[in-house]
Structure 1
């Protein structure tokens, strides 16, 4: 537990602008499609573990772009991250590993259908929606309708991002209907299989899966909120969502977190911890030395007197935190900069969130503030921050986060206190960005692209004249090699083409 308190004026900040001058628990390439005898409940934990590794470790570069982290001055770093000028070999795993794991979930769905297992079938549908949303949000148009068919359709055509999104709502609704059908049949005396402990996210708790499904739908609705041409669809989707009796992820649900039994053994640590924390021997891995505190995030935490800084970063000495703005020509060396903190890298056994309660509460707060759903936006907003304090281990001597969070929320700072802020949506989105530091940079990137909040500074790297954060990634080289005609049909491929992501305003 962290018991340090960020008192007003107690921090010294080492901040330089200098603008002038993994071991993994499971192999994400393991494809159970090749094991024809595998039952759905035996494939499910492997697929979920792959999802955890994928979401926790595929988007490091977004921690840089979103101002959370920076490179260490102890290393000579490749320039593609910091000058935004990358090729189609940049982070190809975002695409390749997603489709590999989608095959796993597709296998589960089809086998569960054949074996009359509605619960496993529904879980697979929901997880496919989770991955497909990320792919659309990253690339735009993607193979969808004819994807995952192997050699039967070796070069699938692309569906538009709009078409994929709209079908994902249908797939999630179908999953919820499957849960209901299974429940009805079980009540009538039929034996319905529940994955139970093989469900390493919710241990077979169907009600939690329902809340996760609804929260995914609400997140996809908010993605489209800035587009006037999507308002009719939004209202239609909201009508279905508001009629649902299941609700959304709350603090009591502890979010959508995955844990197959992470432990401090080789290849069995939590993937985020293994990649950026300490090795089995307790010594920092190389990435722990490479990635340091980002100046923009540290500066914001200090300016708002936010005690969560002690969970997000380690002090250089005493209560002093050192950081450098991303892309500076001469970043500070490790002795001058803070490493990633004990609230983010807690232990080798920590759970891997893919949609935390903190994120869900902020999503709900925004949806209420926009008039999409009913509720109290202020209460949801403050609950999200309180939960963030708890998740990061910012506890007082009585072992509670509530007192520190309450002091922070009542500080009177316009970037913190609900009643003082003049723009409530900006407040929600700013503190959502602040709360997802290091754990969900993909969501922060998505919010930034749709709203421009917060005004994250661009890289100050002098090697580029491009002064904008990319709107998308390029289709990977692997895709252009094997599906060239379909890729070329998407037109010019540019990381700055906002039109590819349909929900960007």
Structure 2
């Protein structure tokens, strides 16, 4: 079903916004693609890097993996986690991974984020990642802030659940009251965002600085 919500007259252009309702089973396997990339980065770092450079790449991989698993479990609930993305090992448990309970997934996510924070403690700025890291230019402190802020977000979500497996209040207090050990996002300068204004009017956001550049 498609329904026109509203239209906007913008100069000579008319934009129609619609919602398409499609009910039925959906395959969320495509969401695992960035997690596969994260696992690849982690493994390559273990084989090819050393010292703080290895720590940097592995920590970033854990943070991105946690971000995506967090997004997916908040969207879908229980899903393959423990045995996911391990088909190269062989065996039915990896080719047909079981659905883990959401609390198991969050437990793994929070452990990975804490490990990432620890790995990045002495990483400083990773020189070889300055150009490759499009978000933080190799700045380990900013990645730590992102990791710990993600943890806080997930603990806040968990605080709404009745469960004895987590102690959100205590963990939130531990992080907020120890900024040296758990730095968090505290300004727009450290936001986890990637700015792309476009290169011409074709691929620029509507209303962006290049949108009317053809005139």
* TM-score, scaled to structure 1: 0.34
Choose between structure 1 and 2: higher strand proportion. 2
Q: CA deviation at 1:147?
A: 0.8
- Of the three residues 83, 87, 107, the one matched with 1:166 is 107
Task: Give me the whole-angstrom Cα distance separating, in 2, the residues matched to 1:179 and 1:76.
Answer: 44
**Deviation by residue 1:152-188 (Cα, 9 ceiling, x = unmatched):** 32221111111111111110111111112545xx9xx
Counterpart contact for 2:135–2:193, Cα < 8 Å: yes
Matching of residue 229 in structure 1 with residue 170 in structure 2: no
Is 2:68 the counterpart of 1:131? yes
Q: 2:45 aligns with which of 112, 129, 151?
A: 112
Following superposition, the deviation at residue 244 of structure 1 comes to 4.3
Change (3 A) 1:208 1:70: farther
Distance 1:180 1:254, change over 3 A: closer
Give yes or no for contact 2:38–2:61 (8 Å, CA) kept in 1: yes
TM-score w.r.t. structure 2 length? 0.75
Instruction: Say if 1:225 and 1:231, in contact at 8 Å, map to a contact too.
Output: no
Q: What's the offset of the Cα at 1:231?
A: 8.5
| Count of residue pairs brought into register by the alignment | 193
Q: Say whether 1:70 aligns with 2:12.
A: no
Q: Compute the displacement of 1:260 (Å).
A: 6.9
For 1:318-397, list aligned pairs within 5 A: 342=207, 346-347=208-209
Tell me the C-alpha RMSD between the 2 structures.
3.3
After TM superposition, list the pairs within 5 Å mapping 1:432-447 onto structure 2. none
d(CA) in 2 for partners of 1:154 and 1:132? 19
Deviation at 1:97, TM superposition (A): 3.1
Unaligned runs of 5+ in 2: 9-14
Which secondary structure does the structure 2 equivalent of 1:146 belong to? Answer: coil
Partner of 1:198: 132
Aligned residue for 2:5, secondary structure, equals strand
Residue 194 of structure 2: aligned partner: 258
| Contact 1:200 1:259 survives alignment (8 Å) | no
Distance of aligned partners of 1:78 and 1:197 in 2 relative to their CA distance in 1, 3 Å threshold: closer
Q: Are the aligned partners of 2:114 and 2:148 in contact in 1 as well (CA < 8 Å)?
A: no
Q: Please, which of 137, 145, 160 is the counterpart of residue 82 of structure 2?
A: 145
Ranges in structure 1 where 5+ consecutive residues have no aligned partner: 1-63, 187-191, 278-341, 350-505
Relative to structure 1, the CA distance from residue 206 to residue 77 in structure 2 (aligned partners, 3 Å threshold; closer, same or farther) is closer
Shift of 1:104: 0.8
Query: Mapping of 1:253-292 within 5 angstroms?
Result: 253-259=189-195, 262-264=198-200, 269=203, 273=205, 277=206
| Alignment-derived partner of residue 96 in structure 1 | 29
Distance in 2 separating the partners of 1:76 and 1:206:
41
C-alpha distance in 2 between matches for 1:236 and 1:172? 17
Is the Cα–Cα contact under 8 Å of residues 118 and 181 in structure 1 kept in the other structure?
Answer: no
1:99 aligned counterpart, secondary structure: helix
Query: What is the SS of the residue equivalent to 2:85?
Result: coil
Distance 1:195 1:208 in 2: 13
Distance 1:162-1:70 versus aligned 2 partners, 3 A rule: farther
